[in-house]
Amino acid sequence: MFHADVRVLSRAELLLDGRSVESVATSPLGPGATAFVGLARWLGDPGPDPTVRVTRERRLMPAGLDETITITSTAAEPVTTEVALALDADLAPIAPVKAGRAVDAAGVTRSGLTWSAGDLSVAVTASFGATVQDATLRWPVTVAPRTSVTVSWQLRVDDQAALVREPAGPVEWTRPTVTADDRRIERLAARSLDDLESLRLSLSAGATDTFLGAGVPWYLTLFGRDSLWAARMLLPLGTDIAEGTLRVLAAHQGTAVDPQTGEAPGKILHELRRADTQAALPAAYFGSVDSTLLWISLLHDAWRWGMAPEAVESLLPTLESALGWLAHHGDADGDGFLEYIDESGRGLANQGWKDSGDSIRFRTGELATAPIALVEVQGYAYEAALHGAALLDAFGRPGGPRWREYAQAMAARFRDKFWVDGPAGAYPALALDGDKRPVDALTSNIGHLLGTGLLTAKESAQVADLLASDAMAGGFGLRTMSTHDAAFSPLSYHCGSVWAHDTAIVIDRLARAGHPAAAATLASGLLAAAESFDYQLPELFGGDDRSTFGRPVPYPAACRPQAWAAAAGVTLLHAAVGLRPDVPAGTVALAPLQDAPLGAVAVRGLRVGAASVDVAVSADGSATVQGLPPSLRLALPRHAAAR
C-alpha cells in the first residue's frame, strides 16, 4: 500500500496453519475495494472438491485500509486453524520501489504494530481475539459446518507532510446509465467510472479543488498532462472536475525561468511530488512541452460544455500567461514550431506524452537528437491558439486576431516541413529533430491532429487510412508505432505498445473528422482489450497482433487503474453518440458515428451545463436527444431528431 508516494505497507502475508492459501479469483467491489478468493485445500473434507474458502475484502479509507478475512467451510466436521497475518512497513519512497532498488529501512522504528520515521507513522489494529507476536497477527479460529468466521484488521497513516489527500466532497461528475447492443461498452463504462472515482485527489492544506491523480501506484499525484487529458475526456459528464483541475494547475503556473525545473513564465506544471520522495526530478517539475497548450484547450472546451462564465473569466489571467509562454518561450529557436530540450541534464529527455528516453526515432530506428519538435504538439499549439482567440474575443480581451493569424501561419509551416513520403504514402512525421530533419517513423501521434483543423480533408483521410491499417491497428487498439518501423517492439513503452487513452483520443478525433470505419476498427480492438482486462483498462499493454495470442499481453509495470486509461471508456461512449455542445453560442451538434458501427447505444445522464441530457443512437445510425434546455438549439445531422 502506498500513501502520498510512500510505501506504508510492504508486507501483508496471510497464512493458515503456516501455509499459503491458493489464490483462485479476484473481483472488484466498487471504487477502492477488491475481493480476493483463495482455497485452503488441506483443511476440511477429503476428496477432490475444496470445502474451505478464504475471502479477503480490502477497502481503501481516507489515510488507511480496512481488510476482512472470512473463512467459510462446507465441510462435514468443524474446522480448526490458526489465521496468521505477517505485516511490515518499510516506509520506502516510491522512486526506488519503482526502480526495483533495495530500500534501506534503517531509519524506520517499530513498536508493536506501529512503524514510524520522522513525522510519518503507520499503525495497525485488529479485531477481537487477535494476539501479536513479531509484527504478526494471529487468530485461533474454529469454523462450524456450513458457517463462516470473519476476522479483520485496519491500517491508518498519520502523515503531516502528505502532498495529496482524498477529497471531502461528493464525486464531481454524473454517473450515466448506459445501454448498448455491445454489452462490453456498458461494462467498460461502469468499471471506468469506479476507477476514476478512486483516483480523485485534492492538495493538502485545506485545498478544496479536485483533480485526478495520474495512476496507481507510480503516479498518484498531480500531473499536468494526465490530469488535463482525463478532465477533458470527462467533460460529457460535467465540468466540475475540469474546473478544479484548471484552478489547481493555475495556482502552480510558472513565473520565472529555471533550467533546473524547466519552469518558464506562463508554463503549466508537469508533475508535483513531495520533496522527500523524489530521487531524480525536482519536486515541482515543468518538463512538459504540451501541458500549457492542453490547459488552454481544456478551459475552452469546458466553457463550451457549460462551465460558468464567471469561473471561466476568473482564469483568463492564467490563459493570457499561458499564451505568453506560447509566444515567448515554447519556440526557443524562433522557427515557428514548439520544441523541447532538457537543459538541466537531469530531467526528462523527451517531454511530450511519449516521454521515455528512446521514444522519438526515425524509421530506421535511429534516435532523434534534441531540440525536438513533436508532431502532435504543433497540432495542440494550432488548436490552443484558436481556442485562446475564441476565449479572448468572448470576454472582451485583446489578442484574438493575433492568435488566429498564428494558427494560420502554423498550418502553412506544418504542411511545408512535416509531411514525408513512406511505403504506404504521405503522412506527417513524428517530429523534427535538432537539425530540422523530419523524424519519419509512422506513429500514433499523428492521430491527435485529426479534428483540430490543421489538416485538410484529403490529409485527414490519408492519416485515417494509415491509422486503420494492419501495421497500426492490427493489435488491440492503436499501436504507438507501425510494425514496419525498425524500432517496433510490442512491449516497448512507446515504440509499439498500445495505450488506451491514445487509442480513445484518436477514436474520438476520427469520429469528429468523419472517419467512422477507422474509428470502429480501433474501437473493436480496445473493447476486446477491455474484456481481457476485466474492463479495467491498464495504462498500456502489448502491441502484438490480435491473431498471435488472442488476448493482449500485459505490460509488467503499467499503472492500473490509470486516469486517462479509465477515461477512455467515457471517450468511447462520447464518440459513439457524438454530442458536441457550444453553450455560449446556444447550439448543440449531434453527430454520432455514421452508420452506428458500434451498434445501438443509449446514454442517459450526460451533462450539458446544468442540464441532464439523454442521447440514443439506433442500430441504423439515427439519433435522438432529450433534455436540452430551451436556450440551446440543436444542429441536426442526417437521421437525427430531438425531443
Domain CATH code at residue 42:
2.70.98.40
Whether the predicted pLDDT of 349 surpasses 90: yes
Name residue 58's beta-bridge partners: 34, 67
Nearest to 254 by CA among 363, 330, 311: 330
| 121-to-4, 110, 227, 508, 643 alpha-carbon distances in Å | 13, 10, 29, 45, 58
Q: What are phi and psi of 423, to 5 degrees?
A: -60, -30
Please provide the distance, in angstroms rounded to a whole number, between the alpha carbons at the two ends of the chain.
50
Give the single-character DSSP code of 368: P
Q: Say if residue 124 is in the same domain as residue 260.
A: no
Asked if 68 and 130 touch (Cβ cutoff 8 Å), the reply is no
H or E, element range at 13: strand 11-16
Q: Whole-angstrom Cα distance, residue 333 to residue 329?
A: 9
pLDDT in tens, 625-643: 999 999 999 986 544 444 4
Q: Say if residue 421 is in the same domain as residue 359.
A: yes
Count CB atoms within 10 A of the CB of residue 382.
23
Burial class (CB in 10 A: 0-12, 13-18, 19+), 107: exposed
Q: Which residues contact 213 (CB under 8 A, 6 or more apart)?
A: 164, 199, 200, 201, 219, 220, 221, 222, 223, 227, 563
Q: Whole-angstrom Cα distance, residue 595 to residue 598?
A: 9
Q: Say if residue 630 is in the same domain as residue 556.
A: no
Whether the predicted pLDDT of 451 surpasses 90: yes
Asked if 391 and 315 touch (Cβ cutoff 8 Å), the reply is no
Instruction: Tell me if the bond preceding 145 is cis, omega within 30° of 0.
Output: no
Q: Whole-angstrom Cα distance, residue 186 to residue 226?
A: 24
Question: Would you state the pLDDT for residue 205?
Answer: 61
Nearest to 214 by CA among 281, 292, 271, 278: 271
Q: Which residues contact 198 (CB under 8 A, 6 or more apart)?
A: 31, 32, 60, 216, 561
Q: What is the mean pLDDT of residues 103-129?
A: 93
pLDDT in tens, 168-199: 889 999 999 999 999 999 999 999 999 999 99
- Domain end point (choices 538, 560, 577): 577
Q: Whole-angstrom Cα distance, residue 190 to residue 176?
A: 9
Question: Would you state the pLDDT for residue 322?
Answer: 98
Give the single-character DSSP code of 129: T
Nearest to 108 by CA among 13, 217, 9: 9
Q: Which residues contact 125 (CB under 8 A, 6 or more apart)?
A: 113, 153, 154, 156
Nearest to 303 by CA among 373, 365, 391, 371: 391
- Domain end point (choices 577, 592, 612): 577
Q: What is the mean pLDDT of residues 352-364?
A: 97
Q: Say if residue 184 is in the same domain as residue 322.
A: yes
* Strand ranges for 291-429 from DSSP E: 373-374, 419-422, 425-428
Instruction: Please work out, in degrees rounded to the nearest 5, the angle formed at the alpha carbon of residue 36 by the alpha carbons of 35 and 42.
Output: 145
Q: Say if residue 292 is in the same domain as residue 409.
A: yes
pLDDT in tens, 82-97: 999 999 999 999 888 9
Q: Which residues contact 248 (CB under 8 A, 6 or more apart)?
A: 203, 207, 209, 211, 222, 227
- Domain end point (choices 125, 159, 193): 159
Domain CATH code at residue 340:
1.50.10.10
H or E, element range at 242: helix 240-251
Q: Say if residue 210 is in the same domain as residue 341.
A: yes
Q: Say if residue 66 is in the same domain as residue 211.
A: no
Give the single-character DSSP code of 55: E
Q: Whole-angstrom Cα distance, residue 7 to residue 566?
A: 24
Nearest to 438 by CA among 455, 421, 457, 417: 417
Q: Say if residue 280 is in the same domain as residue 410.
A: yes
pLDDT in tens, 387-434: 999 999 999 999 999 999 999 999 999 999 999 998 889 999 999 999
Residue 553 lies in domain: 164-577
pLDDT in tens, 32-66: 999 999 999 999 999 999 999 999 999 999 889 99
* Strand ranges for 199-311 from DSSP E: 200-203, 211-212, 271-272, 284-285
Residue found by looking up cell 442521447 in the block = 615
Question: Would you state the pLDDT for residue 86?
Answer: 98
H or E, element range at 294: helix 291-305
* Alpha-carbon radius of gyration of the chain: 26
Q: Say if residue 362 is in the same domain as residue 477.
A: yes
Q: Say if residue 105 is in the same domain as residue 215.
A: no
Q: Whole-angstrom Cα distance, residue 440 to residue 429?
A: 5
In 452-588, which ranges are continuous DSSP H helix?
A: 457-467, 470-473, 500-512, 516-532, 546-549, 563-577
Count CB atoms within 10 A of the CB of residue 458.
8
Q: Say if residue 46 is in the same domain as residue 195.
A: no
Question: Would you state the pLDDT for residue 639?
Answer: 43
Q: Say if residue 126 is in the same domain as residue 25.
A: yes
Whether the predicted pLDDT of 299 surpasses 70: yes
In the chain, pLDDT over 90 holds for what percent of residues? 90
Q: Whole-angstrom Cα distance, residue 461 to residue 465?
A: 6
Q: Quickly state the pLDDT bin for 493 (edges 50, 70, 90).
A: very high
In the chain, pLDDT over 70 holds for what percent of residues? 98
Q: Quickly state the pLDDT bin for 279 (edges 50, 70, 90).
A: low
Count CB atoms within 10 A of the CB of residue 501.
23
* Total count of domains within the chain: 3
Question: Mean of the per-residue pLDDT values for the chain?
Answer: 95
Q: Whole-angstrom Cα distance, residue 120 to residue 300?
A: 41
Q: Whole-angstrom Cα distance, residue 502 to residue 248?
A: 24
H or E, element range at 314: helix 309-314
pLDDT in tens, 564-606: 999 999 999 999 999 999 999 999 999 999 888 999 999 999 9
Question: Would you state the pLDDT for residue 288?
Answer: 98
